[in-house]
Structure 1
Amino acid sequence: MLVAGSLHAQARRAGVALEVWKDANCGCCGDWITHMEQNGFKATVHDTGNNAVRARLGLATKYGSCHTALVGGYVVEGHVPAADVQRLLREKPQALGLAAPGMPVGSPGMDGAAYGGRRDRYDTLLVLRDGSSRVFQSHT
């Protein structure tokens, strides 16, 4: 039990692996990655765009945003808060992943000084394997 606890602590320090595809010139994507890393994730970043990988992973374009990530076997599309991803990984639902479609102002990465403190209401969606979705978490 002590060894298992020590291994868990080492894994937390190393960070949860997060693979991200984005455009090389997108600043808000970089800000989202910083948010994720500040919350225990370790990002590997591909500056190759995300449309092709989103399609390859089976996520419909209606859920699209400016970056696509893969973590723990789940797709994470757009400016999803780290807390929502952490909850997803704890609960392990039968789903494709999470999406915050578009680029909601006030979401992680879209919340800098350039937005003047504006925070729009948005939902993080749980995208099911059949392409349907439901609200996973509302943000106000």
Structure 2
Amino acid sequence: MGTQFKTRLQRRMLLGSVLILALPCVHAASHGASIEVWKDPNCGCCKDWVTHLEKSGFTVKVNQNGNDVVRERLGMPRQLGSCHTAVVGGYVIEGHVPANDIKRLLKEKPAALGLSVPGMPVGSPGMDGAFYGGRKDAYDVLLVAKDGSSRIFQGYR
């Protein structure tokens, strides 16, 4: 076996070992993803949605204003709007999107602008407090394409 072949083999074995050791870190990082949120400072449901994200393992940075401006700047169609806008992993998250759907988005990595739950459906995360008496309206989480079109990503009935 030549010296050059041994060196190449050693490098590949070292790289393989590093990748195997890094897998748990990559897995942990995907579950502790950092998400930045823009919301109205007086909105209680936005605060409850942020709490939902934190309980689901996300690290959240909250901006107390700028939701409409950020939504427009990021290209989320106005008709898909809600009371808060967020960014995570290069995706736009609009409204009361469940944390599990955000995790799925980050795992599957579709070519898309992001996810939206238009309006403020009762029973969605942040809109599910005691005030609503356990009511749950049907709603859809939409996968929004970069051209503004959308399709159902996950339905809740």
The TM-score by the shorter chain falls in which range? over 0.9
Shift of 1:45: 0.4
Q: Is 1:24–1:49's contact at 8 Å kept on the other side of the alignment?
A: no
Shift of 1:6: 4.5
Paired position in structure 1 for 2:22: 4
Structure 1: segments with no counterpart, 5+ residues: none
Paired position in structure 1 for 2:100: 83
Q: Is 1:127–1:134's contact at 8 Å kept on the other side of the alignment?
A: yes
- Measured on the aligned residues, the alpha-carbon RMSD in Å equals 1.4
Q: Is 2:30–2:106's contact at 8 Å kept on the other side of the alignment?
A: no
Q: Is 1:99–1:126's contact at 8 Å kept on the other side of the alignment?
A: yes
Question: Which of 93, 112, 124 is the matching residue for 2:110?
Answer: 93
Q: Are 1:21 and 2:43 matched, yes or no? A: no
- What CA distance in whole angstroms lies between the structure 2 residues aligned with 1:114 and 1:60? 30
Return the letter of the residue paired with 2:95: G
Paired position in structure 2 for 1:130: 147
Q: Is 1:125–1:137's contact at 8 Å kept on the other side of the alignment?
A: yes
- What CA distance in whole angstroms lies between the structure 2 residues aligned with 1:90 and 1:9? 10
Which structure has the highest helix share of the two? 2
TM-score (normalised: structure 1): 0.94
Paired position in structure 2 for 1:35: 52
Larger Rg computed on CA atoms: 2
TM-score (normalised: structure 2): 0.84
Paired position in structure 2 for 1:104: 121
- Give the fraction of aligned pairs with identical amino acids, expressed as a percent: 62
Q: Is 2:95–2:116's contact at 8 Å kept on the other side of the alignment?
A: yes
Q: Are 1:67 and 2:91 matched, yes or no? A: no
